[in-house]
Structure 1
């Protein structure tokens, strides 16, 4: 899944999807800071045979295991924690 749509993804990158309906209205009008992102997940293992990533999604009763390809790329933003000069990250890049 190395493409123009997604950057190179690492395990534990954070993804967020755009909300719809009442959740979007609440997040834009009643919550600070204002955002259109209402659903979050962690990137898990890369599946080369499907060219997809496993994701761990936050749901009401805990977590669910899903696939990144379930979401439209234009609705997903990827965030990465800056871990500085960790030697383990140099091996991955």
Structure 2
């Protein structure tokens, strides 16, 4: 089996797990973000499930890079998908935000 396929399945499994164990605590519930997180978790979980069932999972370097960046962003926001799209200046800065900024 191709290493890219296995690595992609692992990244997708981690992404799905991060979304599934998200606890919002005292944060406000956003129904659209919750549905988006649900769809993303199901889509991400389908990759390792299809691989375990023997179905072909086509993957290339670009899709692996895309999944890895999305997984890193989800881990940086502790699984809070809504926080990826928030633009207000009041939120605390995350390591990924600092990494993506132009100025150090």
By percentage of residues, which structure has more helix? 2
TM-score by length of 1: 0.22
Q: Which has the higher contact order (CA 8 A, sep 6+)?
A: 2
TM-score by length of 2: 0.21
